[in-house]
Structure 1
Amino acid sequence: MKLACNALHSNISTLAYKHIRTLIFTFAYLHICILSASAQNFGGNPPSLKWRQINTDTVRVIFPAGLETQGERVANIVHYLNQHTRNSIGNRQQKVNIVLQNQTLESNGYVQLGPFRSEFYLNPPPSSLELGSLQWDEQLALHEYRHVLQNMNFRQGISKAFSYLGGELGQAAITNIAVPNWFWEGDAVTMETALSPQGRGRLPAFFDGFRGLMLDNKHYSYMKIRNGSYRDYVPNHYELGYLMSVYGRTHYGQTFWRDVTTDAVRFRGVFYPLSQSIRRRTGYNITGFYKATMQEYEHEWQQYANRPAITPAKPLNAPANIVTNYRYVYSAGPGQWVTLKSSYQRIPGFYLIDSTGHEQLLTRPGNSFDDFFTYNNGRILWTEARYDARWVWKDYSIIKLYDRASGHTVTITHRTKYFSPDITNDGQSIIVAFTTPKQQYGLHLLDAHTGAVKQVLPNPENWYYSFPRFTADGQSVISSVRNRLGQMALVQQSISSGESILLTPFSFNVIGAPVVAGDTLYFTGSWKDVNNIYAYTLADKKIYQVTDRPNSILHGAVDAQQQQIVFSEFTAGGYKLYSAPLQASQWRPLDTAVDAHSAWLKPRLEESGNILPIVPHNDYPVKKYPQLTRPFNLHSWVPTFDDPDYSLTLYGNNILNTTSTAIGYTYNRNEGSSAVGANFLFGGWFPYLQAGVDYTFNRSALVKDIGRLYWKELDWHGGFTIPLLLSSGKYGRSLSVGSNYHYLRSYPDGFKFRDEGIQYLNNTLVFNNQRIKAPQNIYSHFGQYLYLQYTHSIDEVPAEQFYGRFDLYLPGLFPNHSIVLQAAYQQHDTMQRYSFTDNFVYARGYNEPFYGHIYKLGANYHFPIAYPDWGFAQLIYLMRLRGNAFYDYSQAYNFRTKTSRRFASTGGELFFDTKIGNTIPFSFGVRFSHLLDPDPVEATRNRFDFILPLQQLFSY
């Protein structure tokens, strides 16, 4: 699959009209690459991990040894879903493989074709506000198996024909074009809600985005909602899809979307088949259907927002012109607050804000699986992600501490799996929630200086702990917990005895991070239509509602001296900080036995209701699953059109994604030659191991005074690559080192080569280091890319080539501007017995000169121009225009004349960042190059090119 994506990145030098047919296929397969890129961790698990399987006629569940309970539960849920929940999607049957991944702390899951499989990332999300508190493996089964049923039932009509023509990736390409991504995810969220006591459709925070737009009177077009924006906040396709899915079911019946998507994947109506099907059934096209959906929900949200009981509050700081988020907040003294701030222009940072709105950057955290942090007595604690260098499924969450007094940041733990740390007032102890690959959870009490575990608090029920907080005296811990049913409660646990006391009853109302202030506990809860701040008083053991706001609150903090509460509330411009008086006399007691949700948070979806208690418990046999099961597993034909090369490749991957196979045929139009080849890649050991063979026949060349010569070539090759992931903190880093051996043999037809065979090694080193960037940043504000390649013969035929490239990324004059400096050098032997592939990037505007060695220096200044957020006919959507001013300087040494020749150019580039068909990101541009020196081939000094970011499409 990755090979197919990479095949799109090569040069094409012909007119656009000639390649319209090529682009149709290119866009389709590019779409599949995009869908699968985040899902593929090739060779990501260590070989020491032992795999087991439950294999039935419906599903094969593959899991690491020790997770038999989770594997059996997933198998039982899948069998029930397959038998009882198909009416709204279809009755086609196909067995699926589901892999349970337990080495990563990421909370996720996916289903893909090519090969047909699903993977569940088993670690539960640290916060329950956005994804819910259901048992995570059960929620994944409900959601992801719906995607399995979608893929089964979308194999009809034209989509089925493409599954024969292109295999599983052919089907995926056409169904993802026919059916928008919002339906895939919205329908799956609908089912996780319909078939459980919770699901995202019952979580107030799931609707914050659309509700925030309504409150700010922003009514975006369907195309903008579909494609997103670099300028404005736009809700994602999960939220859009759920609203439209439920609206369709409510007004047109349970089978409405089954019928609509059947028309779409069969392409009943070649153009906009889904929209045409909706129009036939409702009278609305897709745009009208979206507007009708929004009108219905906005009416209910507006009624709620206009209630007279809304808590008055004022913004803590001035509104920003760009989307900015203040996600968590803590009191840092009278009139001072510490918060985590990020924006579309700036990466996250911890800031000190005072009552006047003045902001001071304290420090910036690195990448993490959870952006929660805590603050106490001048100390900020948070967690950051770390990764095993080789096994990318294996990651960690470590504790970092920043001390305001010293201004220093230290790392407290290493290679741990921790979340939500809190520190005592004296700074001596840390309490933290932990998780293990065996799905065991609990709390660790740590030494704040060494990170050593001082105590493991008992957890006999294996509750999943979130946001543990020390009480004021430091003798006990208050946490929100989830039980095996997915219900949440607040629990107080004594550190000395380990005894736990329930402060609130278990329920499916989710609970956010608590804040302890004296004898009162403040926390976020979902008992009403939006998340609000609630207070639990330890003295009388009662819950009170503190705020009543029009949109959800994420987190709040109390300034006891100034009797003020500051909270982070979602708006159309991101999470904003508001302050309100802390008036306990105005608090309203909460009756937890009363469900106060409105009807739209209690949807009737015409399914069988909560199935989790009634799923049968069948004991399935558990067997070993060898890592090399079905190592070839051929699944898809992928055509690539890369003039002058036209190819068709059969791809295969095993289910554990440790093997990759490619068998293909390529026709070269220039030579009239054909090639067949096969390649096999194994990623289950520390190095990737590769072996393959390519045979080319009818190769030809026109030789002066002789005519056209023909020959055949046979290339045996094999080698290794060591891919290393070195990311930490604010930087994503990777290092790849590899070497491949080639034995190339030529078979001339009627003549004799001077050298009919050559053996050579191709050695590469690639290092990439990029600082994380904000959404509007074009490039990283600081980064390096280094590529070194040395290719040389190892027999009597003299041939060698060295190529090196270095790119340096620096910030520009403004937040979204970038400076990119480039240097490249290439040298090859002058014997001219054999020439290796030329990867050198020449000065822009020039053809390839004659040289023995060459170097190039380049300078680029990238900058945004405009964010149009404009589209046409659901075909193309323009998100951003950006420019680049460049200067290239190159020197080429001619070994025959013993002279160096300069090739310098300057010019500008204009790029268009778009989406095609509301789905496929696609960037293109135009370049003007002014040549400061004569070109070795053409006399013109000014050239225009039509460009793609990684390739030249055509020039004129």
Structure 2
Amino acid sequence: MNKNLFISILSLLILLNSSHISNGQIIDNDQAHSSIKWRQINTENFRLIFPNMLESAAKKLAKQLPKMQRESRENLKVSPPKITLVLQGNHLTPNGFVQLAPRKSELFPVPSSTADNQEWLSNLALHELRHVAQFDKLTGKLKAPFFEQLAFALYGLNLPAWYFEGDAVQVETMYSEGGRGRLPSWEMPMRANILSGKSYDFNKYVLGSFKDNVPSYYTIGFFMSSYLTNHHGIASHEKILTDMRGKLLRPFNFQRAVKLVSGEKPAEIFDSTILELTKKWKQESPISPDDPNLPAKNSRYPSDYLLPQMDGSQEIYVLKYAPTAVNEITRLDSLGNETGVVKTGIQITPYFHLRNKEIVWDEYRKHARFGKQTYNVINIYNTETGRTKTLTKASRYYSPAFHPFRDEIVVVEVNPANISRLIILDSKNGNILDSVAVPDGMHMQQPKYHPSGEKVVAIAVTEQGTNLVEFNLITKDFDLVLPWGNQQLERPFYYHDDIIFKAHNDGIDNIYLFNKTTGQHKLTDAAFGAFNPSIATNGWLLYNDYQHNGYKLAQKKIVLSTIEQPKPFRFPYASPTLDKVQKDSLSNESTSSIVVKNYNPSTHAINFHSLSISGSNFESFDNYIPGIFWLSNDILNTTQVKLGYEFDPDIAKSHYSAEVAYKRYFPTFTARYMNRGMVGNAVSGNDPNNIIMFDYRDHHAIFEMSIPLSVYRRNIVYSYGFNFGTSYTKRYNTSLQLQNFQDVIAFPLNYQVYINRNSMRSKMDLAPRWGQNFSVTFRHRPFTTGSSGEVLSLRTNFYFPGLWTNHSLQLRFAAQKNNGIYLGTYDIPMVSGWGHFNSPIVHNTAMANYRLPLFYPDWSIGSLAYIKRFQGLLFSDFQNVDESLTPKSFGIGLSADLNVFRYVLPDINVSTRLTYVNDNTASSKIIPTFGFSYSY
């Protein structure tokens, strides 16, 4: 069945992420480490599951959850049934999601070095609980054990992602003193676009762009949700969902409901929102903003020159982000000429620190097997020797900063109990030299040394909000610098005995100086935002000035303002809504009422939740057979059970199946049983041309074991592993009496070993710039008499940079050797057009292709489709290269990357190829083919 028949379903089954960077996925495939001892808090309205080390943080959250549940659902007039929340305390990515099938929410509670205006976990939980309320308001009648996947599908089909995420951001802002809706930095990319004359349409703000700076759909969703509630009241969301819930199969259900409640279609609300934002932001713009940008290389696409720092030779080091290349620490001379220094890997927060000839930064890593066991390590690079050293392993360290003159580095550690402290490391070997405890409930961010090396300034985040705090490293005492508030403070450092930092006191992010005697002084007056300050060798302020095309370099003389700072004048766009909110006056639950018990994943392994038409979680529809499956997944994603029935219309036969997959420990195991109706053919008598068909059934049992491993090392991803499989087949009920019919195939053995090394891709890369991939497979039948044989195959794949930026050259070679029952079986990829010519036995194949981006149109075809990119392809295939180096086929291809119906996921690629078959036996020399693929 063609994949495009399933677009409407596939685009729905996504996880709802609450990160500042949205990521979607169709199913949660990762596990926590098998060594974790799990605990639970079980109440009438929720079950909270967490690692035993996280008990204190879990109790604190459990006290807050009843109040959060009331706030998240109150204005939707819904009372969701009990929900399971999992705290993944060993996963450092600041994120979270809610899903149905099975119904749960996972929260990644570890606070990072990313600046915010309030505590991380409580804000995350409030956001995700809003999604729970949305689910239950719209599709809550469809429940386990049969209909959770259907509920999830109907939810995604009816509600666009910009709406349900924008509504959740609005709720996190309404019922807290912080939230992204109050952050100038969060709205800044959109504000810069509008005030810089960059008029983008609805599709572009929802679906993004390769070539332009467009914030995620969370941003436009928040503003459009705020427009609704500003003009039509907080109850407008409840009215929309109430009108939709009984009409989930009605065409354009969401558009009709919005029109009924507001009198406008979503596209018209977008236009009205943009008009209001344009008027508001123009009125609030600084009268005479700074224009201090330094010379920089002209770039066709937006680029960021983050965290500028100057060395003794007056060269500037930056962390460069661009859509055409992976992140790299880059050196700029006085004319703006750029030289790459060292590529960084994945970072939770962009960061590095320079001292003389050394650069230090933190980097995200993962356990090779368990994807929810992650780390943050410290790397150090020497610009003279060109050597990079990873100082720590399996650590949870953030924001390293050099000591002014000693071989020491200060970092923030967040331990498995979610408790912060300052750590002093030896910069030569990563050993811990000292530590400084911080007050209970305080999370530290972005520390920097005093020039004397005796003090450290950092950002403090607690229930009270945010502040700057100084720690005396000798006495271990601390002092608060500012009054508590909900400022998004960033990058504090000492300037003599004063402190320079970023804040948004007047509603725009700017750089400030704090003097203990005279107070705060505003150093910049940015049009859109000023960030990441440091001091140049001439004593001037060096920083980032945000523009519509990225974070640019700026320099300004430090002049202390003498005028008293005005009160905030840039109020959030959602202020009319925020002013109407009546916050829950009830207090949090009492600690004494919280009971903690052990949680045993094995006793909760079976959890049937959905009937599904796909046995592969909608990951592939190649050779699809219609069927129905009953699915079970445990809450911790370690055990999956599938019971299925399929009917193959091509042969009019039914299949029954049962499968168990267990992924809790280092190897993963899969056992599958199938009872299949089959059709075979045989030669009648001595006449090879007399072929007769016959029916039979079989019992087919499969056992598989896998060890899938992958790790990150800077900008390189390594994946490697081992797979083993065997099966047992018993055939019966043949429709004919057959001679030499083999009714038992006992335990054929399959082995695979693979190792891959690929560079990470930039936003515009079509393939890894460098990649080496090897796979060896061996299959044989040692236990079956009369039908023995074996096949050994090697598959390789290599990637190289093309002639121009983001072009890619791919070379592939594969070979196999087979005998016995495996003659005529191919475990290697065949050439394009194979099957259209008379081919000899194939021993090896090779392929070369060249892929290139053609252009990035950002074309909107109404709400039907939005095309982001066109790609071109040149390819050539070779067969049995030991006999001939003449291409067996070659051709050209064209493809387009697009989204349909304003669905954020899946990302779709449609393609067409013309293949020329270079063989005299070809039935047709030119073969057109069409392709369709999707990704999440």
Matching residue of 2:497: 519
For 2:371 and 2:601, the matched residues in 1 are separated by 17
Matching residue of 1:25: 6
Secondary structure class of the residue paired with 1:582? coil
For 1:246 and 1:510, the matched residues in 2 are separated by 22
For 1:247 and 1:60, the matched residues in 2 are separated by 35
The answer on whether the counterparts of 1:249 and 1:605 sit within 8 Å (CA) in structure 2 is: no
What are the Cα deviations for residues 863-901 of structure 1, in whole angstroms up to 9, with x where unaligned? 0111111122312111111011001001299xxxxx999
For 2:361 and 2:95, the matched residues in 1 are separated by 21
For 2:368 and 2:479, the matched residues in 1 are separated by 42
Query: Relative to 1, partners in 2 of residues 1:232 and 1:700: Cα closer, same or farther, differing over 3 Å?
Result: same
What are the Cα deviations for residues 730-761 of structure 1, in whole angstroms up to 9, with x where unaligned? 11222121111201121223323432111211
Of residues 828, 839, 842, the one that matches 2:830 is 842
The answer on whether the counterparts of 1:195 and 1:612 sit within 8 Å (CA) in structure 2 is: no
Matching residue of 2:215: 235
The answer on whether the counterparts of 1:471 and 1:478 sit within 8 Å (CA) in structure 2 is: yes
The answer on whether the counterparts of 2:679 and 2:693 sit within 8 Å (CA) in structure 1 is: no
Q: Tell me if 1:804 matches 2:794.
A: yes
**Aligned-pair CA distance for 1:701:** 3.4
Of residues 749, 752, 755, the one that matches 1:761 is 749
Matching residue of 1:224: 204
Question: Which segment drifts farther, 759-768 or 77-86?
Answer: 77-86
Q: Tell me if 1:770 matches 2:758.
A: yes
Query: Relative to 1, partners in 2 of residues 1:699 and 1:903: Cα closer, same or farther, differing over 3 Å?
Result: farther
Of residues 890, 898, 905, the one that matches 1:906 is 890
Q: With structure 2 as the length reference, what TM-score do the two structures score?
A: 0.92
Question: Which segment drifts farther, 551-560 or 695-704?
Answer: 695-704
Of residues 816, 822, 827, the one that matches 1:826 is 816
Q: With structure 1 as the length reference, what TM-score do the two structures score?
A: 0.90
For 2:82 and 2:584, the matched residues in 1 are separated by 22
Give the alignment of 1:136-147 within 5 angstroms.
136-147=120-131
Give the alignment of 1:839-878 within 5 angstroms.
839-847=827-835, 852-878=841-867
Of residues 502, 506, 509, the one that matches 2:480 is 502
Secondary structure class of the residue paired with 1:186? helix
Query: Relative to 1, partners in 2 of residues 1:37 and 1:238: Cα closer, same or farther, differing over 3 Å?
Result: closer
Secondary structure class of the residue paired with 1:25? helix
For 1:34 and 1:945, the matched residues in 2 are separated by 33
Give the alignment of 1:179-190 within 5 angstroms.
179-190=159-170
Matching residue of 2:19: none
For 1:675 and 1:587, the matched residues in 2 are separated by 82
Q: How many residues align?
A: 909
Matching residue of 1:954: none
What are the Cα deviations for residues 248-281 of structure 1, in whole angstroms up to 9, with x where unaligned? 0010111112222343454478433222222233
The answer on whether the counterparts of 1:103 and 1:394 sit within 8 Å (CA) in structure 2 is: yes
**Aligned-pair CA distance for 1:31:** 4.2
Of residues 578, 593, 608, the one that matches 2:554 is 578
**Aligned-pair CA distance for 1:427:** 4.4
Of residues 364, 377, 383, the one that matches 1:385 is 364
Query: Relative to 1, partners in 2 of residues 1:234 and 1:564: Cα closer, same or farther, differing over 3 Å?
Result: same
Of residues 905, 913, 922, the one that matches 1:927 is 913
Q: Tell me if 1:614 matches 2:587.
A: yes
What are the Cα deviations for residues 393-412 of structure 1, in whole angstroms up to 9, with x where unaligned? 11211111122233332222
**Aligned-pair CA distance for 1:225:** 1.2
Query: Relative to 1, partners in 2 of residues 1:929 and 1:331: Cα closer, same or farther, differing over 3 Å?
Result: same
Matching residue of 2:726: 741
For 1:265 and 1:916, the matched residues in 2 are separated by 23
Question: Which segment drifts farther, 602-611 or 312-321?
Answer: 602-611
Secondary structure class of the residue paired with 2:139? coil
**Aligned-pair CA distance for 1:602:** 4.4
The answer on whether the counterparts of 1:903 and 1:933 sit within 8 Å (CA) in structure 2 is: no
Of residues 27, 42, 47, the one that matches 1:60 is 47
The answer on whether the counterparts of 2:71 and 2:175 sit within 8 Å (CA) in structure 1 is: no
Give the alignment of 1:423-462 within 5 angstroms.
423-462=402-441
What are the Cα deviations for residues 87-142 of structure 1, in whole angstroms up to 9, with x where unaligned? 432315322110001112111111011111000101113121xxx24222211221
Q: Tell me if 1:712 matches 2:697.
A: yes
For 2:294 and 2:154, the matched residues in 1 are separated by 48
Give the alignment of 1:259-658 within 5 angstroms.
259-267=239-247, 270-305=250-285, 307-333=286-312, 335-483=314-462, 485-537=463-515, 540=517, 542-559=519-536, 561=538, 563-584=539-560, 586=561, 588-590=563-565, 594-598=567-571, 600=573, 602=575, 604-605=577-578, 608-609=581-582, 611=584, 614-617=587-590, 619-640=593-614, 642-643=622-623, 645-658=625-638
Query: Relative to 1, partners in 2 of residues 1:740 and 1:30: Cα closer, same or farther, differing over 3 Å?
Result: farther
The answer on whether the counterparts of 2:72 and 2:130 sit within 8 Å (CA) in structure 1 is: no
Secondary structure class of the residue paired with 1:66? helix
For 2:139 and 2:881, the matched residues in 1 are separated by 56
The answer on whether the counterparts of 1:352 and 1:360 sit within 8 Å (CA) in structure 2 is: yes
Matching residue of 1:882: 871
**Aligned-pair CA distance for 1:694:** 0.9
Gaps of at least 5 residues in structure 1 are 1-11, 13-18, 894-898, 952-956
Matching residue of 1:689: 669
**Aligned-pair CA distance for 1:830:** 3.9
Question: Which segment drifts farther, 265-274 or 487-496?
Answer: 265-274
For 2:467 and 2:64, the matched residues in 1 are separated by 26
Matching residue of 2:932: 948
Query: Relative to 1, partners in 2 of residues 1:175 and 1:265: Cα closer, same or farther, differing over 3 Å?
Result: farther
For 1:429 and 1:273, the matched residues in 2 are separated by 61
For 2:637 and 2:126, the matched residues in 1 are separated by 24
Question: Which segment drifts farther, 389-398 or 694-703?
Answer: 694-703
For 1:803 and 1:486, the matched residues in 2 are separated by 62
The answer on whether the counterparts of 2:824 and 2:841 sit within 8 Å (CA) in structure 1 is: no
Query: Relative to 1, partners in 2 of residues 1:23 and 1:371: Cα closer, same or farther, differing over 3 Å?
Result: same
Q: 2:494 corresponds to which letter in structure 1? A: V
What are the Cα deviations for residues 740-796 of structure 1, in whole angstroms up to 9, with x where unaligned? 120112122332343211121122223332211111111110112333322211312
The answer on whether the counterparts of 1:110 and 1:118 sit within 8 Å (CA) in structure 2 is: yes
The answer on whether the counterparts of 2:728 and 2:744 sit within 8 Å (CA) in structure 1 is: yes
Secondary structure class of the residue paired with 2:762? coil
Q: 1:875 corresponds to which letter in structure 2? A: L
Cα RMSD (Å) of the superposition?
Answer: 2.7
Question: Which segment drifts farther, 923-932 or 741-750?
Answer: 741-750
For 1:945 and 1:276, the matched residues in 2 are separated by 39
Q: Tell me if 1:729 matches 2:714.
A: yes
What are the Cα deviations for residues 481-505 of structure 1, in whole angstroms up to 9, with x where unaligned? 112x151111121111111122222
Q: 1:632 corresponds to which letter in structure 2? A: I
What are the Cα deviations for residues 634-678 of structure 1, in whole angstroms up to 9, with x where unaligned? 222222465563232222210011111222122223322221111
The answer on whether the counterparts of 2:790 and 2:821 sit within 8 Å (CA) in structure 1 is: no
Question: Which segment drifts farther, 370-379 or 343-352?
Answer: 370-379
**Aligned-pair CA distance for 1:425:** 2.6
For 2:144 and 2:900, the matched residues in 1 are separated by 25
Of residues 16, 20, 33, the one that matches 1:46 is 33
For 2:321 and 2:442, the matched residues in 1 are separated by 32
**Aligned-pair CA distance for 1:211:** 0.5
The answer on whether the counterparts of 2:55 and 2:417 sit within 8 Å (CA) in structure 1 is: no
Q: 2:103 corresponds to which letter in structure 1? A: F
Of residues 782, 786, 805, the one that matches 2:770 is 782
For 1:402 and 1:655, the matched residues in 2 are separated by 42
Secondary structure class of the residue paired with 1:628? helix
Query: Relative to 1, partners in 2 of residues 1:67 and 1:416: Cα closer, same or farther, differing over 3 Å?
Result: closer
Query: Relative to 1, partners in 2 of residues 1:603 and 1:119: Cα closer, same or farther, differing over 3 Å?
Result: farther
